[in-house]
Amino acid sequence: MQTNRPFEYLIPETLTDVVVPGMRVEVPFGRGRRKIQGFVMRVKETSDFQGKLKPIARVIDLKPVLSDEMLKLSYWLADRTYSFQISCLQTMLPSVMRAKYKQYVVAIDEVDPEVVRLFNGKPTFEITGQLDDETIKLINRLRRNNKIDIQYVVENQALQVKRQAVTTDLNVIQLHEAKSKLRANAKSQIKLLEYLADHLDELPIEFSDLQKEFGVSRAAIKTAEKNDLVRVVEVTKLRKPVGITPEQTTKMKLTEEQQAAVDQINSAIETENPQTFLVEGVTGSGKTEVYLQTIEKALQQEKTALMLVPEISLTPQMVNRVVGRFGDQVAVLHSGLSNGERYDEWTRIENRDVKVVVGARSAVFAPLEHIGLIIIDEEHEGSYKQDDNPRYHARDVALWRAQVNKCPVVLGSATPSLESRARAEKGVYQLIRMKKRINNKNLPQVKIVDMRDSENSAVKGDFSPVLRENLQETLDQHNQAIILLNRRGYSSFMMCRECGFVLKCPNCDVSLTYHKDLGKMKCHYCGHDEPVPQFCPNCKSKKIGFYGTGTQNIEQQLNDLFPQARVLRMDVDTTRRKGAHAKILKQFGDHKADILLGTQMIAKGLDFPDVTLVGVINADTTLSLADFRASERTFQLLTQVSGRAGRAEKTGHVVIQTFNPDHYAIKDASTQDYETFFKQEMYIRHQSNYTPYYFTALISVANQDEGKTLKQSYWLKKQLQTALSKDAILLGPSPTMISRKQNKYYYQIIVKYKHEPKLHQRLLEILNETQADAKNGFTIAIDNEPQHID
Ligand SMILES: Nc1ncnc2c1ncn2[C@@H]1O[C@H](COP(=O)(O)OP(=O)(O)OP(=O)(O)O)[C@@H](O)[C@H]1O
Ligand SMILES: [Zn+2]
Ligand SMILES: [Zn+2]
C-alpha cells in the first residue's frame, strides 16, 4: 500500500510465454529478501529501466485470475476512487482467490504423450512452490493447448455435498455385449447398461438421476457393481446457496407499461447500444417481470446478463424469481456464501456454465463475458457504494462495463436517487416511467398520525389509537401487517416531543449530533457546535430529548396489546445466523405469523399478497440524520415500506406516526408522489449547494494524537485551497460523528464544487504524498461523492 505505480521485472527464460497479464506473481521487493505478491499488468519486449532488472521469483497462478477487461477497469477505478491500483485489483479478484486454496492439474487429453509423461501415472497432482520452471512451462503450454486444466480447490471442502454416482470402465461395445449376456428379466440392469451406453460422455451419473429419470433401482446398480460392469464413486455436487427456494414463474403477459419498457430495453440490447435506462416504476408496478423478460432477450442474443440487488439476504424473493425463471443458468453471489459455495459459483461463471449472475455490490466485478444487459435493482440504495477503500459505486462500475461490453444498463426503482433522476431530466439517462400498479390496483391509502396531538402524546408506549385500531382490524380479518421501526440515526439527535422541533445547524441545514465526549451538539459539515439545550428553542417545552425505542420493547408492547397475534421480529439480533432472513420471511410468506416487526431490513422488495397494513412507528428518525440526504432517505424508506401493502387483490392501508406531519418528505411519501418530492428536494439541494448541483469530495484524516490530526487537516485544507477557484466551497475541518474510533481521532474536510479542473490532480497528489505519513500513523481517505457524511 505504500506505492502506487507499476514496477518492471525480468521474466526468467524458463517462464517465457508462461507469464501473461492477469496472473499473480511473487517478486523480490526493496532491499531485503522480502518477497511480495504482484499482478502482471503488461508484458513488454524491452525495458527502459536504467538499473538491473530483478527477475520474477515465481508465478502464483498458472492461469490469469483477472481478465483484460478487469485489468483495464483497474486503471479507471483507481483514478476515480482515489485509491491505489493494487487495492482495486485485489477488490476485483474473485474472493475465492483470496481464500486459502490449492491448485491442481487435471488431464483433459489423457492420451497425449506429454500429458502422460507429466502425470506419470497419477490421476492429478498439486501445484506447489517446489515445481521446477521447466514443469511450470510445460503445464502452461499444455493448458493453452487445452490438453490439461488447472483447478482451484478451496480449503473447506467438507462443505461440499458428496453424492453417490455410477461410472463404468467399459466402452460402448463392451456395454452392449454385457447387456446381451444378461437374463431377459433383469430389466433394471438392462436399462442401466443402455443408459450408460447412451451417456458415456456424461459419466459419472448420479444415483438420484438414474432413479428419477430412468427408474433404475439401487439394487440393480449394486448388482452391476458386483459383476464388475460399473463402479460406484462419490461426486462432489455443487451446492445451491442457502436460503434460495426458486419460485418457478412462467413468462407473464405484459401490461402496456411493462411492454413499452421491455421494447425500449430490448431494442438497445439488440443494437448493442450502451444506453442507460432509468425505470421509475411505482411499488408493485411489476418491474421484476421487465427485468426477467429483458434478461431473456439478452440470452436469446447469445449474451449474458448481470443483475445487482442491494443485499441478497434482504431480497430473497427477487433472487428466487430470477433463479425460478432461468434455473441452472444463474449464479448467485453474495456475502453470506461460504468460501466453498462462492468457489462453486465462481467456477461456474468462469467455465461459462452460467449466463446470468445475480449478486450484491461486488458482483459487479463478476468475470462474465459478452454481457448483453446490466440491471441494478433498487438503484437508490446506499449499499451500492463501498464504505472502504476502494470507495467505488457499483453503478459507476456498471456504466463503465456497459461501455466496454456495448450493452444497456437498467436502473430500476420506485424512488430513484436524486442523482439518477436528475441525469434522466438532462437526457443523459433514458427515463421510463411505470405509473400504475399491476391490475390497476390502487396504491395503499396512507394516514399520517400526528404524534404531537394530545390523544397520541398521552398514550403510554409507541402505538397511537389509530394504529392500534388498524392493527386490530387487520388481525380480525386474518390479514397480515408489517410494522417498521426506523432505527437509523437513532438517539444521536435531539427532538422535542411537544412540537417535533429538531436541532439543526444554522449554516448547513443538517441536524446537529450529540457528541458524548465533548458534551456538545455538533455539525459534521462545518464544525459548528453549541451546548445541549435544556428546553426546546422553538416552544420552550422541556420535553426535548434524545429519541428512540428498541425493537424488543416494541415487540413486548405488541404482545401486550394483541396477545393472540403471532409476531415475527426481524432485526440485527434475530438475523445473525446464516439464512435467518430467508427463514423469517418464508414463515411470514406462509402466513405462519400475523405481524412482521422489523427495522429498515423489512422495507424493500417484499411481495406478500396478504399484507394489508403497514405501520411506521417513528418516521422521524431518518429525517433527523445529520446528512443532506436525510429527506431523500426518509422519502425512500416510507414510500418503499408503504408499497408493501395491498399488492394483490386486497386493498392496503398505511399508518405513519410522526412528529413532523408537515414535512414534505413525509407528505409526498404518503401520496407515493416521487415526482413532487423530486422537484421540492431539487429546489432545496439547489438552495444549499448540494448534490446533484454540486459535486462532493470528502477527505478525512485520522491519527492517535488529536492535535496532530487537526494540524494535518489544516495543512490539507491549505493544499486544497491553492487548487480551487473561489467558486468552490471548502468546509471543515470538523470532527466526524464518532470523532474517536479505536483510539484515533477523525477529522474531515468537505469540498463542494462545480468545475474545478485542478482538483482531481491535486487529490491524486495528496493521496500519494500522504502515504509517507502513513508511517507516522496517519490515515487519509478520500471519498469521491460520499453516500453519507458522518
Ligand atoms: N404482467 C403481469 N401480469 C400479472 N401479474 C404481474 C405482471 N407483472 C407483475 N405481476 C405481479 O405483480 C406483483 C408486483 O410485481 P413486482 O414485485 O415486480 O413489483 P415491483 O415493481 O418490483 O415493486 P417494488 O418496487 O415494490 O418491489 C408481483 O406479484 C408480480 O408477480
Ligand atoms: Zn418544542
Ligand atoms: Zn454546519
Does residue 14 lie in a domain region? no
List the single range of 54-63, 309-318, 443-452, 553-562 with lowest mean pLDDT.
309-318
Does residue 29 lie in a domain region? no
CA–centroid distance, 694 to ligand 3, in Å, is 17
List the single range of 518-532, 627-641, 658-672, 747-761 with lowest mean pLDDT.
518-532
User: In this structure, are 643 and 575 located in the same domain?
Assistant: yes
What is the per-residue pLDDT across 59-78, written as a single tens digit (0 to 9) for each?
Answer: 888 788 899 999 999 999 99
- pLDDT for 551 equals 79
User: In this structure, are 571 and 669 located in the same domain?
Assistant: yes
Q: Any residues with Cβ below 6 Å from ligand 1, and which? A: 252-255, 258, 281, 283-289, 414, 438, 605, 607, 643, 647
Helix (H, G, I), strand (E, B) or coil at 66: coil
Is residue 139 within 8 A of residue 104, CB to CB? The reply is no
Nearest protein Cα to ligand 1, atom 29:
607
Nearest ligand 1 atom, CA 283: 26
295-307 b/e (C-beta count within 10 Å ≥ 16 → b) = bbbbbebebbbbb
HSE of 197, CA atoms in CB hemisphere, 13 A: 16
User: In this structure, are 681 and 764 located in the same domain?
Assistant: no
Determine if residue 88 is labeled as part of a ligand binding site: no
The more confident residue out of 753 and 776 is 753
Does residue 462 lie in a domain region? yes
Ligand nearest to the CA of 639: 1
Ligand nearest to the CA of 249: 1
Nearest protein Cα to ligand 1, atom 31:
286
Helix (H, G, I), strand (E, B) or coil at 215: coil
Instruction: Report, as an integer, the average pLDDT of 201-225.
Output: 78
Does 683 score more than 50 pLDDT?
Answer: yes
Helix (H, G, I), strand (E, B) or coil at 613: strand
CA–centroid distance, 602 to ligand 1, in Å, is 18
- pLDDT for 686 equals 92
Ligand nearest to the CA of 628: 3
608: domain CATH number?
3.40.50.300
- pLDDT for 488 equals 56
Does residue 62 lie in a domain region? no
Task: State the residue for C-alpha cell 430495453.
Answer: 265
- pLDDT for 152 equals 67
Report residue 58's pLDDT band, with 50, 70 and 90 as the boundaries: confident
Domain end residue (candidates: 424, 439, 454)? 439
What is the per-residue pLDDT across 29-56, written as a single tens digit (0 to 9) for each?
Answer: 877 677 888 999 999 998 888 888 999 9
How far is it, in rounded angstroms, from Cα 81 to Cα 52?
Answer: 34
Nearest ligand 1 atom, CA 609: 29
ipTM: 0.94
Q: Which of 251, 255, 259, 288 to mutate to test ligand 1, by most ligand atoms within 8 A of the CB atom?
A: 288
User: In this structure, are 222 and 266 located in the same domain?
Assistant: no
Report residue 394's pLDDT band, with 50, 70 and 90 as the boundaries: very high
CA–centroid distance, 453 to ligand 2, in Å, is 13
Which of 67, 56, 70, 73 is CA-nearest to residue 18? 56
- pLDDT for 717 equals 93
Determine if residue 508 is labeled as part of a ligand binding site: yes
Ligand nearest to the CA of 496: 2
The more confident residue out of 227 and 354 is 354
Report residue 300's pLDDT band, with 50, 70 and 90 as the boundaries: very high
Burial class (CB in 10 A: 0-12, 13-18, 19+), 536: buried
- pLDDT for 296 equals 97
768: domain CATH number?
3.30.70.260
Which of 449, 511, 459, 497 is CA-nearest to residue 653? 449
Nearest ligand 1 atom, CA 317: 17
pTM for the full predicted model: 0.80
- pLDDT for 559 equals 94
Instruction: Report, as an integer, the average pLDDT of 317-341.
Output: 84
Whole domain around residue 630: which residue ranges?
A: 441-490+548-686
Does 547 score more than 70 pLDDT?
Answer: no
Does residue 39 lie in a domain region? no
Ligand nearest to the CA of 437: 1
User: In this structure, are 511 and 400 located in the same domain?
Assistant: no
Determine if residue 505 is labeled as part of a ligand binding site: yes
Report residue 259's pLDDT band, with 50, 70 and 90 as the boundaries: very high
User: In this structure, are 472 and 566 located in the same domain?
Assistant: yes
Q: Pairing state of beta strands 231-237 and 161-167?
A: antiparallel
The more confident residue out of 594 and 773 is 594
Report residue 667's pLDDT band, with 50, 70 and 90 as the boundaries: very high
Instruction: Report, as an integer, the average pLDDT of 415-422.
Output: 96
Q: Name the average pLDDT for the chain.
A: 86
Does 746 score more than 80 pLDDT?
Answer: yes
Per the structure, the count of domains in the chain is 6
User: In this structure, are 641 and 703 located in the same domain?
Assistant: no
The three-point CA angle 72-74-76 to 5° equals 80
CA–centroid distance, 620 to ligand 3, in Å, is 20
What is the per-residue pLDDT across 697-728, written as a single tens digit (0 to 9) for each?
Answer: 999 988 888 888 889 899 999 999 999 999 99
CA–centroid distance, 634 to ligand 2, in Å, is 21
What letter represents residue 603's amino acid? A
DSSP 324-364: HHHGGGEEEE-TTS-HHHHHHHHHHHHTT--SEEEESGGGG
User: In this structure, are 513 and 582 located in the same domain?
Assistant: no
- pLDDT for 100 equals 61
- pLDDT for 528 equals 86
Report residue 156's pLDDT band, with 50, 70 and 90 as the boundaries: very low
How far is it, in rounded angstroms, from Cα 589 to Cα 154?
Answer: 36
User: In this structure, are 478 and 619 located in the same domain?
Assistant: yes
CA–centroid distance, 751 to ligand 1, in Å, is 42
User: In this structure, are 381 and 395 located in the same domain?
Assistant: yes
What is the per-residue pLDDT across 84-130, written as a single tens digit (0 to 9) for each?
Answer: 898 899 999 876 676 666 777 878 887 788 888 888 777 777 777 67
- pLDDT for 768 equals 82
Indicate the helix (H) or strand (E) that contains 454.
helix 454-457
CA-CA distances (angstroms) from residue 663 to 130, 419, 630? 69, 21, 12
Domain end residue (candidates: 642, 663, 686)? 686
User: In this structure, are 270 and 372 located in the same domain?
Assistant: yes
Domain end residue (candidates: 546, 574, 589)? 546
CA–centroid distance, 731 to ligand 3, in Å, is 9
- pLDDT for 490 equals 47
Residues in Cβ contact with 155 at an 8 Å cutoff, skipping those fewer than 6 apart: 99, 100, 101, 102, 339
The more confident residue out of 567 and 709 is 567
User: In this structure, are 215 and 179 located in the same domain?
Assistant: yes
Nearest protein Cα to ligand 1, atom 5:
438
Does residue 43 lie in a domain region? no
Instruction: Report, as an integer, the average pLDDT of 423-447.
Output: 93
The more confident residue out of 575 and 749 is 749
Determine if residue 407 is labeled as part of a ligand binding site: no
Dihedrals φ, ψ of 73, to 5°?
Answer: -60, -35
Does residue 645 lie in a domain region? yes
Nearest protein Cα to ligand 1, atom 27:
605
Report residue 774's pLDDT band, with 50, 70 and 90 as the boundaries: low
Q: Which of 309, 438, 439 to mutate to test ligand 1, by most ligand atoms within 8 A of the CB atom?
A: 438
Nearest protein Cα to ligand 1, atom 15:
286
CA–centroid distance, 660 to ligand 2, in Å, is 11
Instruction: Report, as an integer, the average pLDDT of 357-381.
Output: 94
List the grid coordinates of 143. 493448458
Does residue 74 lie in a domain region? no
What is the per-residue pLDDT across 758-770, written as a single tens digit (0 to 9) for each?
Answer: 999 999 988 888 7
Share of the chain above pLDDT 90, in %: 43
